[in-house]
Each structure stands twice: as C-alpha cells, then as structure tokens.
C-alpha cells in the first residue's frame, strides 16, 4: 500500500511511502484488540478507592440495648452497617487492576488497529514535525493547514520530540507519541493517524 508523503501545510510532495501489508493489511483480530484495549484502560486505574468498614470507623463498642425483651432485632454495636453512620459492607479496597498480556497478542492488536485505520484512509504520512520552540500556536497552525483542527489526531514520531510534545499538550484532541509508545487504544481513538516519515520504518521494525 503506497501513501503520498505530505508536508506541514498538507500538500503532497513528490515522495511516497510503502506501508507493508504484514502490518497495515492483515486480517484484523477483534478479540486481540479488545484484550489490548482492556489492559490499557485497566493500567490507567489508580486503584486507590477505599471506604471504611465497621472495624475502621470511630464509635463506641458499648452494646446498645439488652439482647432480649425489646421486641426488636438484636443490636450489638453502633458501627453496625444497618445504622446511620455505620461501616460499609464489603466496601472497595485498594487494589491493582493490571493484568498480563502476551507480547504476541499486543503486537497482533496493534497491527489490527493499524489495518483498520488504513482501510478507513485514516493514515497520513508527514515528511517531518520539526518545531523550533515549544509553541502551541505553531502546532495549531500545522493542524489548521492540514485541515485537522477539528479532528482527534495522533502524531507518531520516531524518537523523543520534546518541542512537539509540549506544543500539543494544551490542544484538545491532539496527541504526540513515539513509535515505541504507540498503543492500540490511542490508534483507534484517533480520527487521523499522522505518522512522521522516519517513524514508519521504526514501527515496522518494532511490530515485525
């Protein structure tokens, strides 16, 4: 699959890049995508939720009333969950939501996501994303010139690009990631995937 390389103003250049079918033209595996997205979202959770149970709240341990003869149910503690201010029954506790996923499954999921994007014509290859300084205004101009100002856009760069990262940080819907940090969730969440030309080869070397 050949894709024309565009410049920062969205105009096609004389160059084109070949996207290999082993990554951008496979038979998509929806279950692998589901597992990879599920793991990504699970890993984002802090798991710091906590509520106090009856053994953790403050209150007297005195027996409220005698055991028999009142005509009501037995009651031994003001911390009883049935009473106002009592402890919660089986409340949430801090936990880790992360789970293991085989590397081959993650790789298959990313290839499947990239294949879907290629079928939707949602992949743009950019000649470079060089920014002289971290300026939101300059990054916004690139988006406007490429007619991407109102889309969710994921830029994929080959290596660390601090100026581009800082420039995009304040723009809703725009995100910049490195080729080795590319994940299935962000690929599918974006309307357009803008891959810098030198990052194409790096993605292929990582996934193959």
pLDDT in tens, 105-156: 999 999 999 999 999 989 999 888 888 888 999 889 989 988 888 889 999 9
Write a three-state SS string for the chain.
CEEEEECCCCCEEEEEEECCHHHHCCCCCHHHHHHHHHHHHHHHCCCCCCCCCCCCCCCCCCCCCCCCCCCCCCCCCCCCCCCCCCCCCCCCCCCCCCCCCCHHHHHHHHHHHHHHHHHCCCEEEECCCCCCCCCHHHHHHHHHHCCCCCCCEEEEECCCCHHHHHHHCCCCCEEEEEHHHCCHHHHHHCCEEEEEHHHHHHHHHHHC
Q: Note the pLDDT of residue 61.
A: 85
Sign (positive or negative) of CA dihedral 130, 136, 141, 143: positive
Q: Note the pLDDT of residue 7.
A: 85
Q: Note the pLDDT of residue 116.
A: 94
Domain 2-45+98-207 in CATH 3.40.50.300? The answer is: no
Side-chain-side CA neighbours of residue 107 (13 Å): 11
| Separation between Cα atoms, residue 163 and residue 137, nearest integer Å | 12
Q: Note the pLDDT of residue 186.
A: 94
Residues with pLDDT less than 50, the chain? none
Q: Note the pLDDT of residue 149.
A: 86
What is the location of CATH 3.40.1370.10 in the chain? 2-45+98-207
Q: Note the pLDDT of residue 23.
A: 92
Q: Note the pLDDT of residue 110.
A: 95
Q: Note the pLDDT of residue 158.
A: 87
């Amino acid at each position: 699959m050949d894709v024309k390389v565009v410049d920062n103003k969205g105009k096609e250049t004389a160059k084109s890049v070949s996207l290999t079918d082993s990554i951008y033209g496979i038979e998509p595996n929806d279950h692998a995508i589901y597992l990879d997205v599920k793991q990504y979202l699970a890993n984002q959770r802090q798991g710091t939720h906590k509520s106090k149970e009856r053994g953790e709240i403050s209150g007297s341990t005195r027996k409220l009333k005698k055991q028999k003869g009142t005509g009501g149910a037995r009651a031994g503690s003001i911390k009883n969950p049935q009473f106002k201010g009592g402890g919660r029954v089986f409340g949430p506790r801090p936990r880790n939501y992360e789970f293991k996923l085989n590397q081959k499954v993650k790789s298959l999921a990313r290839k499947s996501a990239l294949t879907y994007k290629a079928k939707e014509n949602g992949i743009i290859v950019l000649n470079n994303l060089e920014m002289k300084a971290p300026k939101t205004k300059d990054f916004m101009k690139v988006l406007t010139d490429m007619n991407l100002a109102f889309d969710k856009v994921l830029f994929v760069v080959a290596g660390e690009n601090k100026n581009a990262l800082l420039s995009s940080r304040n723009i809703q819907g725009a995100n910049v990631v490195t080729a080795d940090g590319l994940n299935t969730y962000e690929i599918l969440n974006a309307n357009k995937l803008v891959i810098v030309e030198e990052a194409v080869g790096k993605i292929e070397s990582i996934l193959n």
